[in-house]
Amino acid sequence: MKAKKTEIHVRYVRETHPVRIVADAAVSTCGRHGGRLLPLLLLDTTDRPDIADFIRVHESSGPGDVEVTWGKVEAKGHEGAVALFLTFIRPMEFFMELEFNIVRQGILVEQALTGQGIYLAQAEGDGDRLSKNVDRPKVLVEVPDTGFRDKWDDLYHKHLAQDFRSKGLGRSESRQAARSVIEELRKLGSLRMRDIHD
């Protein structure tokens, strides 16, 4: 699918900045979303009390609706990153942008695309980790295949290879290394908690 440029209209100024990801983890729950391994993001909601409300409200309101778009912000300071644009409709209306550095956080994008979902939770401070409170409220956002996969495969391979090359590997070695890393990540990402039957 060919990428196209588009403008996103937001209601509030706070929605123009990407939400900071404090920490991440991977969660696989038996009987939920096919037991797939999904990335979990702990979000800094200091400037986004609406997201904190959403995570709390969603606990009691049941399933909601969200429009998902993968893309890239065309502005200075957003190089080497891809973005996930989430337009929530129910139970709350708001817009959120999550930005992922391709080299450092590519595993999260890879896993969101493989598992077709992502968990969002609120960080309880700067040094927070999921292990500090495993039972915190979290929202599962389904990330269907929007045709981004092919583009991502190229981007991820290219950026990883560039990174290896900048660290001293040769041209063909860096390509080979990038391919191996992606293969290993996919093996790990295909982990799935199977249903338990009596």
Partner 1 sequence: MPTNDNLLADPRVWISGLALLVSGCSVFISWRAGRNAARALAISENQEKRREPQLRIYLVKGYRRLVPKRQLFGFLVSVSNPTDINNSVARAELQITYVMENDESAICRIQHNAALGEKVGDSTPASVLSLPLRIDAHQTVSGWLLFALDNDAIRKRTIDAHRLILEDTHGVSTETEPIMVRDWTDESKKD
Choose, by CB under 8 A, the member of 31, 67, 78, 93 that binds partner 1.
93
CB of 17 to partner 1, least distance (A): 14
Choose, by CB under 8 A, the member of 3, 8, 78, 90 that binds partner 1.
90
Nearer to partner 1, 1 or 13 (CB): 13
Distance between CA atoms of residues 47 and 49, nearest Å: 6
Nearer to partner 1, 16 or 180 (CB): 16
Question: Which conformational region is residue 183 in: left (phi greater than 0), alpha (psi within -120 to 50 degrees), or beta?
Answer: alpha
Question: Does residue number 92 form part of the binding site for partner 1 (CB under 8 A)?
Answer: yes
Distance between CA atoms of residues 175 and 115, nearest Å: 25
With CB under 8 A, what is the number of residues at the site for partner 1?
16
Phi, psi of 155 (to 5 degrees): -60, -45
Residue span binding partner 1 (CB under 8 A) among the ranges 36-44, 92-100, 132-140, 147-155: 92-100
Question: Is residue 29 classed exposed, middle or buried when 0-12, 13-18 and 19+ CB atoms within 10 A define those classes?
Answer: middle
Nearer to partner 1, 80 or 91 (CB): 91
CB of 108 to partner 1, least distance (A): 26
Tell how strand 117-122 and strand 37-43 pair up: parallel
Distance between CA atoms of residues 91 and 64, nearest Å: 5
Distance between CA atoms of residues 193 and 32, nearest Å: 9
Cα distances (angstroms) measured from residue 4 to each of 78, 85, 177, 179, 182: 17, 14, 31, 27, 26
> Which residues inside 16-75 make contact with partner 1, applying CB under 8 A?
49-50, 53, 56-57, 60-61
CB of 139 to partner 1, least distance (A): 14
Choose, by CB under 8 A, the member of 70, 85, 94, 148 that binds partner 1.
94
Nearer to partner 1, 46 or 190 (CB): 46
Q: Which residues bind partner 1 (CB under 8 A)?
A: 11-12, 14, 49-50, 53, 56-57, 60-61, 89-94
